[in-house]
A and B are shown apart, each in its own frame.
Chain A
Amino acid sequence: MLSAQNFGESGKMKEYHYAGPTEHRFSPYAFNGGTVLAVAGEDFAIVASDTRLSEGYSIHSRDSPKCYKLTDTTVLGCSGFHGDCLTLTKIIDARLKMYKHSNNKTMTSGAIAAMLSTILYSRRFFPYYVYNIIGGLDEQGKGAVYSFDPVGSYQRDTYKAGGSASAMLQPLLDNQIGFKNMEGVEHVPLTKDKAVQLVKDVFVSAAERDVYTGDALRICIVTKEGIEEQNIPLRKD
Chain B
Amino acid sequence: MALEDICNFKDKPTRKTFPFYASEDTSVSVFTESFNFKWRGEMTSKKASDVPLEFHVPSLFKRPSSRASHSASVRRPFPLSHGTTTLGFIFQGGVIAAADTRASAGGLVACPAVHKITPIHSHLVVTSSGSGADCMLWERILTREIRLYQLRHKRRLSIRGTAKLLSLMLHPFKGTDVCVALTLCGWDKLIYVCSDGARLQGDIFSVGSGSPYAYGVLDRSLSWSLNKEEAILLAREAVFRATHRDAYSGNNVDLFHVTAEGWRQRQREDLKEEYYRDMEKRGKKMDVKTKKAAKIMR
Contact = CB atoms under 8 A, between A and B. Distances in A.
A125 B57 contact: yes
Given A28-B7, A126-B57, A153 B132 contact: yes
A166 to B, nearest CB: 8
Given A122-B54, A125-B176, A151 B133 contact: yes
A103 B7 CA distance: 38
B133 A124 contact: yes
A152 B56 contact: no
Interface residues of A, number: 29
Given A31-B77, A125-B57, A125-B73, A155 B114 contact: yes
12 contacts: A26-B7, A28-B74, A117-B136, A122-B55, A122-B56, A124-B55, A126-B9, A126-B56, A149-B105, A149-B110, A149-B133, A152-B136
Nearest to B138: A121
A162 B61 CA distance: 33
Contact of B136 (A129, A147, A154): A154
Contacts of A127: 76
Instruction: Classify the interface of chain A: helix, strand, loop or mixed.
Output: loop
B198 interface: no
Specify which of A126, A129, A154 lies most central, judged by the most chain B CB atoms within 10 Å of its CB.
Answer: A126
Category for how many chain B residues contact A: 35 or more
B284 to A, nearest CB: 22
Contacts of A117: 133, 136-137
A149 B111 CA distance: 10
Nearest to A4: B107
Contacts of B77: 27, 29, 31, 129
Contact of B137 (A28, A121, A147): A121
Contacts of A4: 107
A121 B133 contact: yes
Contacts of B114: 155
Contacts of B46: none
Contact of B75 (A27, A118, A121, A124): A27
A19 to B, nearest CB: 17
Interface string B127-139: 0000111111100
A167 B79 CA distance: 14
Contacts of B78: 129, 150
B53 interface: yes
Contacts of B103: 153
Interface in B55-99: 55-58, 73-78, 80-81
B294 interface: no
B175 to A, nearest CB: 12
B147 to A, nearest CB: 16
A152 B54 contact: no
B133 A125 contact: no
A125 B60 CA distance: 12
A25 B7 CA distance: 11
Contacts of B178: 124
Contacts of B53: 122
B3 interface: yes
Interface in A102-130: 117-118, 120-127, 129
A29 B77 CA distance: 8
Contacts of B151: none
Given A25-B75, A123-B56, 8 more contacts: A26-B7, A117-B136, A120-B133, A122-B54, A124-B134, A150-B80, A151-B80, A152-B133
Contacts of B57: 125-126
A153 B80 CA distance: 10
B55 A149 contact: no
Nearest to B70: A125
A124 B180 CA distance: 13
Contact of A125 (B55, B110, B113): B55
B251 to A, nearest CB: 11
A52 to B, nearest CB: 19
A3 B135 CA distance: 28
Contacts of B131: 151, 153
4 cross-chain pairs, A with B, having the tightest CB-CB distances, nearest first? A153-B133, A151-B133, A153-B132, A126-B58
Interface string B245-287: 0000000000000000000000000000000000000000000
Given A4-B107, A122-B56, A126-B74, A152 B137 contact: yes
A153 B75 CA distance: 19
A149 B74 contact: no
Contacts of B7: 26, 28
A126 B73 CA distance: 7
Contacts of B113: 155
A120 B53 CA distance: 12
